[in-house]
């Protein structure tokens, strides 16, 4: 790898595309003749306004976002959205959540503070190794929304068929799969994603929300920052936004467009993930943790015959120059996160190494 860089299999913050990092480096001391780094620039300046406008326009083009959806850049990473979704969308105080792993569990715990949470379906019985059938859920009429975590970063399951919400609003946490494949935005009321998994630096979430879901009549104690309306009315510039993250994400949007858009990205991700899954399925030593139909293209949890051997593999791979292979502390085992920017050579090199076992 160039610059002595490592193949970093972390779930997030994750690898960034090298051409993007090089562009950022080249613009570091003086952004396009402004005499400043983007970090030093007023967020109210014309130069920065153009950066935000282009980032939004490029994202709209990439995802083909309909005009009746707002794109918001909000600080607080992914976790703040657990509360924001419930605070803003629970009009009747009732929502259906699908429990598929660690991140939907966190969302459920947070939403319970604001209203009634109905667990529409769960895969807890088999250690979150599959996506439950959600073709015929029992959804009360006055349910405000149905919530899913579309790719469970820790458990490695992903939704290939969205739940049948029977006309109710669908809310999706796309953090660890954002921009990894084409997405029909009109299927959702709200999509949100913490950007550090697949797009940019940590500390920001992108929220794509249908306009009719943006309300001003919230609990008067709702912090102003936590109302989607605040961000929508101010073009994500109510206060100083995460300028740096917006700038870097904007670069990644342009990079993805040049690559051929989300179809092209998906093809690369499918190719890449199959190298790893094919290896795991043919290995006598390692085993993939998730059923075939629901496997994530981004996060691949697997195990060796024992926890001791898992630890040995982690140690050996680290010595060989592959970083962050340990499974999440809550589930153990091993995990390879192969987000958008992980090159196929990284996966191949790693599989070659694992073949020794």
Question: 158-177: which residues touch ligand PLP (CB under 6 A)?
Answer: 173, 175-176
Active-site annotation holder among 197, 251, 272, 326: 197
Q: Which is nearer to ligand PLP, 78 or 250 (CB)?
A: 78
Give residues with Cβ within 8 angstroms of 122, minimum separation 6. Answer: 98, 99, 100, 132
> What's the distance, Cα to Cα, between the start and end of the chain in Å?
24
Smaller CB separation from ligand PLP, 79 or 164 = 79
Distances (CA, A) of 341 to 3, 86, 113, 203, 234: 16, 32, 36, 19, 32
Euclidean distance between CA atoms 4 and 14, whole angstroms: 17
Catalytic-role residue among 58, 70, 105, 173: 173
Give least dist CB 331 to ligand PLP, A.
13
Nearest partner of 297 among 277, 323, 325, judged by Cα = 277
String of contacts with ligand PLP for each residue 201-240, x by CB under 6 A:
----------------------------------------
Binding residue for ligand PLP, selected from 197, 231, 272, 350, defined by CB under 6 A = 197
Contact predicate 137/115, CB 8 Å? no
The question of whether 197 is a catalytic residue gets the answer: yes
Q: Which stretch binds ligand PLP (CB under 6 A): 61-69, 71-79, 137-145, 267-275?
A: 71-79
User: Which member of 7, 9, 12, 111 binds ligand PLP (CB under 6 A)?
Assistant: 12
Distance of closest approach, residue 3 Cβ to ligand PLP, in angstroms? 26
Quote the least distance from Cβ 77 to ligand PLP, whole Å: 3
Nearest to 107 by CA among 80, 135, 76: 80
- Binding residues with ligand PLP: total (CB under 6 A): 12
Let me know if 192 is a catalytic residue: no
As given in the structure block, the two tokens for residue 330 are 């809550």
Nearer to ligand PLP, 153 or 317 (CB): 153
Marked catalytic residue, from 58, 70, 103, 192: 103
CA 188 centroid distance within chain: 16
Which own/partner contact pairs does 218-222 have at CB distance under 8 Å and 24+ positions apart?
218/87, 218/88, 219/87, 222/87
Report the phi/psi class of residue 321: left, alpha or beta, with left for phi > 0 and alpha for psi in -120 to 50. Answer: left
Q: What are the counts of helices (DSSP H) followed by strands (DSSP E) for the chain? A: 9, 14
With respect to ligand PLP, which residue has the nearer C-beta, 15 or 313?
15
100 binds ligand PLP, rule: CB under 6 A: no
Token duo for residue 128: 């979150």
Contacts with ligand PLP in 102-161 (CB under 6 A)? 103, 149, 153
159: annotated active-site residue:
no
How many whole angstroms separate alpha carbon 125 and alpha carbon 263?
34
* Residue numbers 73-92 binding ligand PLP by CB under 6 A: 77-79
Catalytic residues: 103, 173, 197
Which stretches of the chain bind ligand PLP, using CB under 6 A? 12, 77-79, 103, 149, 153, 173, 175-176, 194, 197
């Amino acid at each position: 790898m160039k610059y002595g860089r490592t193949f970093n299999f972390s779930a997030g913050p994750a690898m960034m595309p090298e051409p993007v990092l090089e562009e950022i480096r080249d613009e570091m001391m003086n952004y396009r003749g402004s005499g400043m780094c983007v970090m030093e620039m007023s967020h109210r300046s014309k130069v920065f306004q153009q950066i935000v406008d282009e980032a939004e326009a490029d994202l709209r083009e990439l995802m083909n976002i309909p005009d009746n959806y707002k794109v918001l850049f909000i600080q607080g990473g992914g976790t703040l959205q657990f509360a924001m979704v419930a605070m803003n969308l629970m009009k009747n105080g009732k929502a259906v959540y699908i429990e598929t792993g660690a991140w939907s569990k966190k969302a459920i715990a947070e939403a319970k503070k604001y209203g009634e949470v109905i667990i529409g379906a769960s895969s807890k019985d088999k250690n979150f190794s599959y996506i439950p059938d959600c073709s015929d859920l029992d959804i009360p009429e006055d349910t405000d929304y149905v919530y899913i975590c579309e790719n469970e970063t820790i458990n490695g399951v992903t939704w290939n068929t969205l739940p049948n919400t029977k006309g109710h609003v669908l809310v999706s946490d796309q953090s660890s799969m954002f921009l990894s494949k084409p997405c029909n935005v009109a299927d959702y009321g709200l999509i949100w994603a913490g950007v550090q998994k697949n797009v940019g630096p940590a500390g920001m979430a992108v929220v794509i929300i249908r306009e009719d879901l943006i309300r001003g009549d919230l609990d008067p104690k709702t912090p102003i920052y936590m109302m989607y309306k605040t961000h929508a009315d101010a073009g994500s510039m109510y206060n100083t936004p995460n300028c740096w993250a917006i700038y870097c994400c904007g670069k990644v949007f342009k990079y993805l467009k040049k690559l051929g858009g989300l179809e092209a990205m998906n093809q690369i991700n499918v190719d890449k993930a199959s190298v790893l899954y094919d290896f795991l399925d043919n290995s006598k030593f390692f085993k993939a943790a998730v059923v075939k139909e629901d496997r994530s293209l981004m996060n691949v949890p697997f195990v060796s015959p024992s926890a001791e051997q898992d630890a040995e593999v982690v140690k050996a791979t680290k010595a060989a120059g592959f970083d962050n292979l340990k499974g999440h502390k809550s589930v153990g085992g091993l995990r390879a996160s192969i987000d958008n920017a992980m090159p196929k050579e990284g996966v191949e090199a790693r599989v070659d190494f694992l073949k020794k076992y």
